[in-house]
Amino acid sequence: MTYSAREMMAVVAAREIKDGDIVFCGTGISMLAAMAAKHISAPNSVIFFETGAIDAQLEEVPMAVGDPRVMLGAAVHGSLADAFAFMQNRTTGEHVVGILGAAQIDPYGNLNSTSLGDYNAPRVRFSGSGGACDVGSFVGRTILFMQQETRKFVPRLDYLTCPGFLDGGNGRERAGLPHGGPEVVITNMATFRFDADTRHMYLAGCYPGVTPDQVLERMGFAVPVDRARPVLPPDDRELGILRNKCDPQRLILGD
Amino acid sequence: MNPGSEKVISMREAVDRFVPDGAHLSIGGFTVNRNPMAAVYEIIRQKKTGLHLYAHSNGQGVDELIGGGCVARLEIAYAGSGRFAPTCVRFRKAVQSGRLQVEDYSNYQMTMRFAAGAMGVPFLPVRSGMGTDLVNRWGFTPEMRQSDERLPDLKLAALDNPFGNWADAPNVLLVPAIRPDVTIIHVQSADRAGTVRIEGLPFTDIEQAKAARRVIVTCEELVPTETLREHPEYNQLPFFCVDAVVHVPHGAFPTACYRHYDYDPAFLNQYREWALDEERHARYLQRYIKDTPDHQAFMALQDPAQLGRIKADPRTGYAVGLDRR
């Protein structure tokens, strides 16, 4: 079966979600990944939203985390204060995996979703942190979605909205952040992970038909490629779940 | 704060009395859900200016107030309307052209700032944001902060944990209380005294209301006090916190109101196109807001068939199978 880059990204992210994970979802493709994971490999994962909807039983894909569709069949309708406290809480926070995206990413997995250019007179303004800074600060693992473009993989962010490993090594610890940090970056061409010591990004996997050189051409900084492995394409079952159960209107998957 | 039992007034009077030019205003809701839109449109109709606006993750309400020329300064975590406008259009234009001053926080930070205001403490600690530009980069100048007694002198402050490493936190960030002049929320039900019942997610509405000096509640349904008091466990805000109650069906349109109606994808898509172009946006403001006397007249301009399509299904609380492309 042929498939699109978005479908590949959603399936690759779904595979990262483990059974029993508490999955913090943002908007867009992250919701599809979380929905797909429940059907594919992690039936006991729990989807929750910063808006306070805990274990939402999604029947239709939400268009925003404030969509009333996130309220259906939830265990609890909490407030924002509740939702974020679950991530800051020592017992529950470690079990949360957060899924985030951004306009820019740097070699240590820090994200910019605020602005380009001078912050006080920006060339381009984006939505801002929302809950991203909180999720990146609190939780045990984050999955990051990016488009593979030179202007998005930058050596230095225009604005650091959401912490990854800050300046690398034990940067989080030095800043006083809880432990945790980004686990994987998923793009339309490849996956990246972070070295256990330096916390610098490395190429972990290439999608079918993609070479490490093609990936490096679409980045503003170099990463080691010697650990790169092929990433399996989505199989028919995974695609069927994504298309028929998660997003039949193709609201997120697109045409 | 008003312990009275009869607070029902018109939207025109509520905005006229409680939202003066330059007010520090906070609005409830979240992106495309339960924004107090009827109040937003009335604020634009009354040409309020120089507002200092607070929200956490707000989309349509914030964007229309900015587009209506009402807002001078904004403290916010996120300005977007989901897939309809990942970054709010008029917000983006206003910031990029230097017409709007913004102070950025995270959602949890904003929530804790409203909570601090509600609790009557000057600040609350969070473990979010250390090492980021939310701490390092400030939008408001120190001079602006010092010249307005309704603003704290600092955006936030870092503190070493005075209890050592207790709770495994060597340090925290302190975020200052928000103390709005007025908060406006839209809810499913209220009684004439102002006791509030929100169905579905409350977001941060209750903290926002309790933090404010004045509170305007707009509601889909005005219900008898006895009805709300049969199940007080489902009510969130007591009447004495509330100053004005406005009965306004479809008061959150075009955003959603759980168990009443969905967001209107057609309107939100159309709004984005209007907002992108100065001329089209000006025509929209004139026809839909300035030339209509009230929200009822604004709603009369909407397609009745589409209003039927967004009506909430009783089982799910939203419009099942709605075309949301």
- What is residue B30's DSSP assignment? B
**Domain spans of chain B?**
11-122+178-309, 126-176
A71 touches chain B (CB under 8 A): yes
Nearest chain A residue to B87, by CA: A127
Q: What local confidence, expressed as pLDDT, does residue A41 receive?
A: 87
Q: d(Cα B92, Cα B59) in Å, to the nearest integer?
A: 12
- Looking at residue A113, which CATH number applies to its domain? 3.40.1080.10
pLDDT tens digits, B229-255: 999 999 999 999 999 999 999 999 999
Q: Does domain B11-122+178-309 have CATH number 4.10.520.10?
A: no
Report chain B residues whose CB lies below 8 A from the CB of A62. Answer: 82
Distances in Å between the Cα of A122 and the Cα atoms of A72, A200, B103, B152, B155 are 39, 28, 13, 25, 19
The SS3 assignment for A186 reads: strand
A6 touches chain B (CB under 8 A): no
Q: What local confidence, expressed as pLDDT, does residue A156 receive?
A: 98
Taking an 8 Å cut-off on Cβ atoms, the answer to whether A71 and B167 are in contact is no
A182 touches chain B (CB under 8 A): no
pLDDT tens digits, B176-235: 999 999 999 999 999 999 999 999 999 999 999 999 999 999 999 999 999 999 999 999
Chain pair A-B, CB pairs under 8 angstroms: 222
Q: Which candidate in A7, A50, A59, A238 is catalytic?
A: A50
Query: Sorting pLDDT into bands at 50, 70 and 90, what band is A1?
Result: confident
pLDDT tens digits, B257-316: 999 999 999 999 999 999 999 999 999 999 999 999 999 999 999 999 999 999 999 999
Nearest to B29 by CA among B189, B242, B251, B249: B251
Q: How many domains in chain A? A: 1
Q: Does A212 fall in a domain?
A: yes
Residues contacting A58, CB < 8 A, separation 6+: A31, A35, A47, A69, A70, A72
ipTM value, please give it.
Answer: 0.96
| A50 given a catalytic annotation | yes
Q: Does A97 fall in a domain?
A: yes
B130 touches chain A (CB under 8 A): yes
Q: d(Cα B127, Cα B174) in Å, to the nearest integer?
A: 9
Nearest chain B residue to A74, by CA: B200
CATH classification number, B126-176, choose in 2.60.40.1930, 3.30.230.10, 3.30.30.40, 3.30.470.10: 3.30.30.40
Domain that holds residue A143: 5-246
Taking an 8 Å cut-off on Cβ atoms, the answer to whether B127 and A176 are in contact is yes
Nearest chain B residue to A53, by CA: B201
Nearest to A127 among B86, B200, B316 (CB): B86
Cα B128 from chain centroid (whole Å): 23
Taking an 8 Å cut-off on Cβ atoms, the answer to whether A163 and B263 are in contact is no
pLDDT tens digits, A120-178: 999 999 999 999 999 999 998 999 999 999 999 999 999 999 999 999 999 999 999 99
Q: d(Cα B182, Cα B211) in Å, to the nearest integer?
A: 9
Q: Which residues between 240 and 259 in chain B have a beta carbon less than 8 angstroms from any beta carbon of chain A?
A: 256, 258
Taking an 8 Å cut-off on Cβ atoms, the answer to whether A68 and B137 are in contact is no
Taking an 8 Å cut-off on Cβ atoms, the answer to whether B106 and A131 are in contact is yes
Nearest to A66 among B32, B132, B207 (CB): B32
